[in-house]
Structure 1
């Protein structure tokens, strides 16, 4: 046998060794590269997801605005007023869209406490009950003598809340609640609400004894007014 030289043995032993080890720096760089790729994919997904969601919300919002525009100022205003009287509570729904100026004035008066202690100074059966300044004897008594029924005349239904259209220097606020359908009051009253609860209280006030000037013999008044956005 031929004798193998030591140098040949050394070369053969090197060839049998395992693969060369990867350096720590290379491993770290590879991991960083993978992390960057993952983060980039996550950021891209979030961007397109948020963009898609925003487009859907904008489309829905635009659709709602086209269908029905809601004035945020009107939405924030109270929609109901509760007249707490000495006979009980009367809840009225306010017509914010139909009579915005009158409703604004009414709400302002409520916040100033204008109706606290206000008396129902005029009660006319099958017609109206009236609260306000009892020293300003007005309209309602005259209306009863002047109004003539007409077959097809416009009517205010019963339990409607209104105030006179005529303006004066007086800074008060007259309240009328109709107790029956009244012909031809459109030129006299601005209707700005309707009774939705407490019709029996209105009828109870309507039935009190009055003098020849339709003034209640026993005082009946509004204790206070509570405003609510919803019942």
Structure 2
């Protein structure tokens, strides 16, 4: 047995982070590894929303970034949801591409 070097990936996936605070008290940092080799549009959208580098949204007119966004859904011992920078309740948001973009099928 050997290793087929053509099959060995050398791609390093990008990472980004969110600092989480309550009442301006830093609680910690969440680091995300982005699987841009599987879903490049989704990853680029998320990365740019973390950095805030894309300015204002074309459809919402709101800043395209996660800074100051609240966790609009918290399920104890399971998960949190956040990212709705336009309405703050999980019903809004916008991609860096303007509005929405096609989903991906990983099946």
* CA–CA separation in structure 2 for the residues paired with 1:96 and 1:120: 25
Partners of 1:99 and 1:172 lie apart in 2 by 14
Change in Cα spacing, 1:135 to 1:129, as seen in structure 2 (3 Å) is: same
Q: Residue 132 of structure 1 corresponds to which residue in structure 2?
A: 83
| TM-score, scaled to structure 1 | 0.27
Structure 1 unaligned segments of length 5 or more: list them.
1-62, 139-167, 174-189, 191-231
Structure 1 match to 2:61: none
The aligned counterpart of 2:70 is: 119
Residue 94 to residue 137, structure 1, CA distance change in 2 (3 Å): closer
Instruction: Answer 1 or 2: higher relative contact order, Cα 8 Å, separation at least 6.
Output: 1
Distance 1:91 1:85, change over 3 A: same
Does the CA-based 8 Å contact 2:45-2:95 persist in structure 1? no
SS of residue paired to 1:98: coil
Matches of 1:105 and 1:128, distance apart in 2: 21
Is 1:171 equivalent to 2:106 in the alignment?
no
Aligned residues: 77
CA RMSD, 1 decimal = 3.4
Bigger proportion of residues as helix: 1
Provide the rounded CA distance (Å) in 1 between the counterparts of 2:48 and 2:90: 24
Alignment match, 2:49: 109
Does 2:37 correspond to 1:90? no
Deviations along 1:37-80, whole A, 9 cap, x unmatched? xxxxxxxxxxxxxxxxxxxxxxxxxx95xx14869xx65xx621
> Which has more radius of gyration?
1
Write the deviation string for residues 150-193 of structure 1: whole angstroms up to 9, x where unpaired: xxxxxxxxxxxxxxxxxx8x4158xxxxxxxxxxxxxxxx7xxx
